[in-house]
Amino acid sequence: MMMEIERDRGRRGRHRRGSYAQYGCLSSIVKIARRHAVDPGQLVDAFVEAGATARSHCGRLKIVRRAVDQEAATFLVTQDETVVWQSKIALESLRQPDSLKTHLQDIPLPESTVKEPASTLQQIDDLRYGMTGVDVTAKIIEVPPVQPVVTQWGSEGYVSNVTIADATGSIRLSLWNHQAGKVHVGDQVELTNCYVSRFAGQLQLRLRRQSTLSVITPRPQAAVPRPAP
């Protein structure tokens, strides 16, 4: 009986140490994401991608898998050749990214002691996966037909993945419901507080509740012919 109790204590101890290690890892991910203006969930996805392919990017962060053993993979995170973080992440956690993202909400956001600079417009060519708080001014160059979809929560909606472009490049912009019918080819739009996601292997700009979409120079209206005198 005593041996069973000791084994049980040992199992519980290992579980607690594993939980502490995962909490510490997630805390670091949240801090890195906040410091470098990327989405924590998308940073988790970048670690999963680097675990499978040896390297990935999230915003301006570069993630490289350095080594792998039976239990964990070691990752190096850099920005512009400067080391941001290096640590191990358990392989079991990398196999369950959705579980990691669920636990992200349990991590308190670190308080920022540095006043954030005022937002500035960014060029499309500079956008990277995982970036948040993105402001862009661009022109609508393609508006595909609106498509009905069913969201992951089971509700029905409509989406149109329009294409916007500036002098540096182009990117898809996902517009939902009433927003999908708000723009036309030729409109100049101003977008604020967006984030960069990825769909079918391509970067995509998306709006959140706090985002804004403004048409600043609408397309010219067709001239109405006057009746003959």
Do residues 16 and 90 share a domain?
yes
223, two tokens: 């001239």
Phi, psi of 154 (to 5 degrees): 90, 0
Among candidate residues 73, 104, 135, the one where a domain is terminated? 104
Do residues 169 and 207 share a domain?
yes
4 inside domain: no
Q: Which residue's entry shows tokens 């962060």? A: 61
Do residues 89 and 135 share a domain?
no
Phi, psi of 141 (to 5 degrees): -115, -10
Overall domain count for the chain = 2
Question: Which residue, among 177, 185, 183, 184, has the nearest Cα to 147 in the 3D structure?
Answer: 177
Q: How far apart are CA 77 and CA 63, in angstroms?
A: 5
143 inside domain: yes
Say how far residue 189 (Cα) sits from the centre of its chain. Answer: 22
Question: Which residue, among 205, 222, 204, 216, has the nearest Cα to 139 in the 3D structure?
Answer: 216
Partners of 202 in beta bridges: 199
- Expressed as residue numbers, the domain containing 191 is 124-217
91 inside domain: yes
pLDDT at 124: 94
CATH number at residue 165: 2.40.50.140
Do residues 139 and 210 share a domain?
yes
Task: List, run by run, the mean pLDDT of 10-residue segments along the chain (229 residues).
Answer: 41 47 82 87 91 91 93 92 89 86 76 47 89 91 86 73 94 89 90 89 88 79 58
Do residues 136 and 166 share a domain?
yes
pLDDT at 189: 92
Do residues 56 and 95 share a domain?
yes
Q: How far apart are CA 149 and CA 198, in angstroms?
A: 18
151 inside domain: yes
Are the beta carbons of 47 and 76 closer than 8 angstroms? no
Are the beta carbons of 22 and 103 closer than 8 angstroms? yes
Do residues 128 and 213 share a domain?
yes
Question: Which residue, among 104, 70, 103, 101, has the nearest Cα to 88 in the 3D structure?
Answer: 70
Do residues 52 and 137 share a domain?
no
Q: Give Cβ neighbours of residue 110 (< 8 Å, ≥ 6 apart).
A: 30, 31, 34
227 inside domain: no
119 inside domain: no
61, two tokens: 């962060």
Question: Which residue, among 116, 76, 69, has the nearest Cα to 90 in the 3D structure?
Answer: 69
222 inside domain: no
191 inside domain: yes
